[in-house]
Amino acid sequence: MFDTKTILASRTIWANLIGLAALVLGLFGLYSSALVTGAFEEALVQLIAAGSFIASTVFRILATKQILN
């Protein structure tokens, strides 16, 4: 039989949620008093989002390989 896990146990879901949160923060403006320039904040949020979506893809590939083996 197939072992299933809850949706919150999925690394893919968490990576996507982090990426989505980073994009939403970027849309509404990330406020941080330690960061001075808006361009740096925007770049940081976009970097986090990109990294999480790349991680999501890697996790999906790894999960698929485990199922096929």
Evaluate whether 16 touches 43 at the Cβ level (below 8 Å): no
Q: What per-residue confidence (pLDDT) applies to 15? A: 84
Nearest to 16 by CA among 48, 64, 61, 40: 48
pTM passes above 0.95: no
Amino acid of residue 11: R
- Tell me the per-residue pLDDT of 2-21, one tens digit each, with 9 for 90 and over: 677 777 788 888 888 888 88
Q: Span 41-47, mean pLDDT? A: 78
For residues 37 and 34, give the distance between their C-alpha atoms in angstroms, rounded to a whole number: 10
DSSP for 44-68, written as a single string: HHHHHHHHHHHHHHHHHHHHHHHHH
